Structure 1
Amino acid sequence: YFTFQVKVVAVDAELSVFYEDSVHFDRDLVEFGTQGGVHVHKDGLTVTSPVLMWVQALDIILEKMKASGFDFSQVLALSGAGQQHGSVYWKTGASQVLTSLSPDLPLREQLQACFSISNCPVWMDSSTAAQCRQLEAAVGGAQALSLLTGSRAYERFTGNQIAKIYQQNPEAYSHTERISLVSSFAASLFLGSYSPVDYSDGSGMNLLQIQDKVWSQACLGACAPRLEEKLGRPVPSCSIVVGPLPGGEAHWRAASLAGMRLEEGDIAVSLGTSDTLFLWLQEPTPALEGHIFCNPVDPQHYMALLCFKNGSLMREKIRDESASGSWSKFSKALQSTGMGNSGNLGFYFDVMEITPEIIGRHRFSAENHEVCIQAFPQDVEIRALIEGQFMAKKIHAEALGYRVMPKTKILATGGASHNRDLLQVLADVFGAPVYVIDTANSACVGSAYRAFHGLAAGTDMPFAEIVKLAPNPRLVATPTPGASQVYEALLQRYAMLEQRVLSQTRGPPE
């Protein structure tokens, strides 16, 4: 269940995809009037999706599979993923309807009266600033909440959304018997009973103690009464929640991590409109930036996530300004300039960055003097942008406890992963080889891999063993000799200058 569509992928015993299909909410369910699968409310902050749209989408996709001749009798295991943070509110009595569903009637018809909230808050919602402040205050501040739950309070996180519903619509909350995440909601439709929330998706709620993997009583109490009974007990991400058909669920990023087959020490870098870093961690260090989640494929480890807003759009701007709009010229600039860019460093944030919170462009000479010019020479400008983007990623990853290991692989995805010269800079800055993998359906394929893992869960077989048959990533860049010496010093300078820019652009402390 993505924001804009529901998608299905089936793999065979060799982990090859042999079936896929989708239902696009805006196109195939026009009666719900969504744009991009959501409704943006008048305040510009509240963003919801109709729960019955999600229900009807499952009806449609299963009918499409049936019409295509898909043989359901051959399905051995089922797993899924849902957009993270979104929540579904089951009305008192809904469990009885779920357990007595008829295969002869559409799900939408049978579940029409089963939800206490008809429009569910989703990850794009940013209307809960007041509830975020209340939650942080209740546990002793933002850093205390991060240490407890893996993240400071975020407006899209489910606990804060639940708190808002309780405060603004207490009657609907009191008539709610169960609260599901989108992933556990989807699993519940297949189970005919309430599916538990898994550790990995539960980590995106500001409610789960990530070390102990239990709900935090302090956080539950700060959000709403009787919340623990409405959430149910969280379970490991590879739990078999029904037999004989193993199943499970996760948020889409967790499923993507499975689809990209990350292992301990690996990094996935998604180079898209915004850039996202996935990290496999053993000993996380929760901070005020980024997120720590329970690892979906290894319950002893963790997954960190860092998001950088100034991604491809920033690269495209500098391409237009310094390479006449040509990616070929952009690549030649990276080839013609040396590692370290003769000491010239740049920060390029045309929109307010998330990690760190800086806006504007700032350029520094090798002597650490801010250079008050429109731009560096074109080739220098391009390398300063790319080196700066990748150095920021490494610095902030290390702040969350990440360290490059001898066996570390970097898996690059997204539009910019087609540029080999850009990936060479990534390999040089991180000091690790870069691979690319076809991840057009990484979340769906990852879910299928996890279903396969569920079949073997009783044997305690590691996930890495399960996916050995899957297509291997392709090696595209290895670190240039001498790169580690160049960037070791440069990374320290970049971190120091980032703090200088932060202190200049940030207002006085509250």
Structure 2
Amino acid sequence: MPATYIGFDLSSSGLKCLAVTADLKPVHEEAILFDKDTPHYGVHGGVHKNEVDHEVYAPVAMWIEALDILLTQMKASGFDFSSVKGISGAGQQHGSVYWSEKAEEILASLDPKASLVDQLKDGAFTHPWSPNWQDHSTQKECEQFEEATGGGEALARITGSKAHHRFTGPQIKKFHRQNPEVYEKTARISLVSSFLCSLFLGRIAPLDISDVCGMNLWDIQGDCWDKKLLALTAEDSKSGVAGLSAKLGNVAHNMGSILGGISKWFVERFGFSSDCAILPFTGDNPSTILALPLRPLDAIVSLGTSTTLLMSTPTYYPSTEYHLFNHPTTKGLYMFMLCYCNGALAREGVRDEINKSKGVTDKSWAEFGKAVDSTQVAGRSTSSDPAKIGVYFPLPENIPSANKGTWRYNYSATDGTIKETQEGWNLPHDDVRAIIESQALSMRMRSEALLSPDAHNGHKAQPRRLYFVGGGSRNAAIMSITAEVLGGFEGAYKLDIGSNACALGASYYAAWALERKGSEAFEDYVDRYWEEETHAVRIGDAYKEGVWEEYGSVMKGFRIVEEEIMKTNSHA
């Protein structure tokens, strides 16, 4: 078997892995679903929930047992572990794992005849649980984080994000508040990514330079821990800032560097080569952008349950409404992430209304598509008509922070005024184009500052390429309008990289780290083997001269509409 490179993905619901060759050809996939394959932990969706206190958490032992089961299944299927030259991985972002003083001693002396979970679960951790990204129990701590730095905007300037319930800094502060004695006994704190890496490394792995940005503790531009935020997190603890710094440990700055060889437990139990290298593991979102040669200013638009925009950008322009992380492989680049609660649910609600009006009882999108085809930009019949702008939140939204509701406005570009009304609206027909436009206009408005024309040789403030994924990418009407709003001077593409994007990105990372030529950039390495005709289908030009500019005019009205809605409907 040729040399292989494995990428792991430890998500909320399961553990996946994918092996590729040096030329990035997939050769093996394996998956464990926690609910199905480890039922004795009693989880649902991979987690436990304490609804009263808004806590969501997972048993760390379950993750360890899943790794043993997954590798055992791979071995039984005949996978040759001796072919594995390097391992990287991805972990659900923001979760934290609390190691004991004995952890590294236990990791270094594992018995290959005994399971991993039996040797680690009782002595390696001070706390058996890891908070999940769905956790909402840290409101008090989030308020303290923003107050300490002068507000959400100030915190975002430092850490790339405002305070979020799931972020690790507020979670650690809450952990200390509730469990002060356990906190003091904790020797090291890992993120989920570095925890999984530690198992393979046989010692506590450093935090990853990209994943560390999901903690509300890392000064991204200063490239160091923020002392004020460390002091706040460690407030009233016996060990103070020095203790917290020691618990967090180092951050792996050298992207693609070898952290060490694989633990002998894996060599002796599964037949890995002792020369197998362990590379940094990053967060699931950063790992997703590694699943293709995403160039600076390329964007991935995920039209799934939520609507998400991921982009690689050289511009550091933080905001409370999105996240900026260090890029996982390229110094000087940042990963931009914009994630909305309302995505498919809002679009499907409009689809159901147009179907109902036409007497259609199924969930087909045919009438939806016809409505799109029969309307012009912003629902105008002529250029002098007011633009129709709709905002549709079947769920409370976090971008902007607003209560659920539906709002319809007419916008006059001539005098810059808006009017909340259904006058001139043909309902539900006009809602179809309006729902797609409003979601895309919101993305364009918030990403505009990161798309400096100077950054790509005089092009307008548009992405370079648009890659569409998710359920909505199966709908040509949704994709085409979204592409026209956002632009994309090298076109729009429907992307298919399978269901294991995080594991795929991690496997690519491992291959690049060990097989690159000199200082070859990650994107250049992947591009050498990237089979675009297999993974990406060009759906057309995203930038249409005149149309993109017209949407720029409508966006001015959309900005005013959002401000008006926020006056009375904000839940911030």
TM-score surpassing 0.5? yes
Between the aligned partners of 2:106 and 2:398, the Cα distance in structure 1 is 43
From the superposition, tell whether residues 44 and 438 of structure 1 become closer, same or farther in structure 2 (CA, over 3 Å). Answer: farther
Give deviations 1:158-178, integer Å, cap 9, x for gaps. Answer: 011110111110111111111
Match of 1:35 among 31, 44, 47: 44
Deviation at 1:139, TM superposition (A): 2.3
1:425 is displaced (CA, Å) by 0.6
| Cα distance, 1:470 vs structure 2 | 2.4
1:383 aligns with 2:392: no
- Where do 4+ consecutive residues of structure 1 move more than 6 Å? none
Task: Measure the CA separation in 2 of the matches of 1:353 and 1:403.
Answer: 27
Quick one: which amino acid aligns to residue 69 of structure 2?
I
Shift of 1:76: 1.2
Q: Supply the distance in 2 between the matched residues of 1:441 and 1:379 (Cα, whole angstroms).
A: 37
Does the CA-based 8 Å contact 2:22-2:515 persist in structure 1?
Answer: no
Answering whether residue 65 of structure 2 is matched by residue 56 of structure 1, we say yes
More displaced 10-residue stretch of structure 1: 139-148 or 25-34: 139-148
Deviates more, 1:494-503 or 1:241-250: 241-250
Give 1:396 shift. 1.3
- TM-score, length basis structure 1: 0.96
- SS of 1:459's equivalent in the other structure is coil
Could you tell me the TM-score, scaled by structure 2's length? 0.86
User: What is the match of residue 334 of structure 2?
Assistant: 302
**SS in structure 1 of the partner of residue 98 of structure 2:** strand
Contact 2:167 2:216 in 1 (8 A): yes
Question: Residue 32 of structure 2: SS of its match in structure 1?
Answer: strand
Letter paired with 2:395: V
Q: 1:331 deviation in Å?
A: 1.2
- Aligned residue in 2 for 1:203: 213
Deviations 1:397-436 (A, max 9, x none): 225x334754700111100011112111112111212111
1:108 aligns with 2:117: yes
Are 2:127 and 2:182, in contact at CA under 8 Å, matched by a contact in 1?
yes
Q: Indicate if the aligned counterparts of 2:257 and 2:513 stay in contact, CA closer than 8 A.
A: yes
Tell me the equivalent position of 2:269. Answer: none
Q: Give the Å deviation of 1:127.
A: 0.3
Amino acid at match of 2:555: L
Q: Determine the C-alpha separation between the residues in 1 that align with 2:466 and 2:296.
A: 11
Give the whole-Å Cα distance in 2 for the aligned partners of 1:374 and 1:164. Answer: 52
* Separation of aligned partners in 2, 1:486 and 1:435: 22
| Equivalent in the alignment of 1:394 | 444
* Preserved CA contact (<8 Å) 1:92 1:177: yes
- Relative distance call for 1:74 and 1:303 in structure 2 (3 A) is same
Match of 1:434 in 2: 492
The residue that corresponds to 2:257 in the other structure is 239
- From 176, 183, 203, the counterpart of 2:186: 176
Q: Displacement, 1:372?
A: 4.6
Q: Check the 8 A contact 1:83/1:182 in 2, yes or no.
A: yes
Between the aligned partners of 2:197 and 2:218, the Cα distance in structure 1 is 20
Name the counterpart of 2:195.
Answer: 185
TM-aligned CA deviation for residue 36 of structure 1: 0.4
Residues 216-365 of structure 1: pairs in structure 2 closer than 5 A: 216-224=226-234, 225=240, 226-236=243-253, 237-243=255-261, 244=275, 245-324=277-356, 325-342=363-380, 343-358=387-402, 359-365=404-410
Deviation track 1:136-190 (CA, whole Å, cap 9, x = no partner) reads: 2222222221111111111100011110111110111111111000100000000
Matching residue of 1:421: 477
Q: Give 1:474's aligned residue.
A: 537
Residue equivalent to 1:371: 421
Q: Over residues 71-98 of structure 1, what are the superposed CA-to-partner deviations in whole Å (9 max), with x where a residue is unaligned? A: 1111111110000001100011111111
* DSSP 3-state at the match of 2:260: coil
Which runs of no fewer than 5 residues in structure 1 stay unpaired? none
* Letter of the structure 1 residue corresponding to residue 352 of structure 2: D
The yes-or-no answer on 1:490 pairing with 2:554 is: yes
Q: What amino acid is aligned across from residue 129 of structure 1 in structure 2?
A: Q
Residue 44 of structure 1 deviates from its aligned partner by 4.9
Match of 2:264 in 1: none
Size of the aligned set, in residue pairs, is 507
8 Å CA contact 1:309, 1:353 repeated in 2: yes
Matching of residue 149 in structure 1 with residue 212 in structure 2: no
Percent identical across equivalent pairs?
Answer: 37
Deviates more, 1:430-439 or 1:113-122: 430-439
CA offset at residue 289 of structure 1? 1.3
- 1 CA distance for matches of 2:517 and 2:531? 25
Deviations 1:82-127 (A, max 9, x none): 0000110001111111111222211011112211011111111110
Kept in 1: contact 2:94–2:191 (CA 8 A): yes
1:420–1:477 Cα contact (<8 Å) kept: no
Within 2, Cα distance between the matches of 1:293 and 1:493?
Answer: 30
Per the alignment, in what secondary structure is the counterpart of residue 323 of structure 1? Answer: helix
Q: What residue is the counterpart of 1:162 in the other structure?
A: 172
- Kept in 1, the 8 Å contact 2:296–2:314? The answer is yes
Cα distance in structure 1, aligned partners of 2:179 and 2:140: 16
Cα deviation, residue 481, structure 1: 4.2
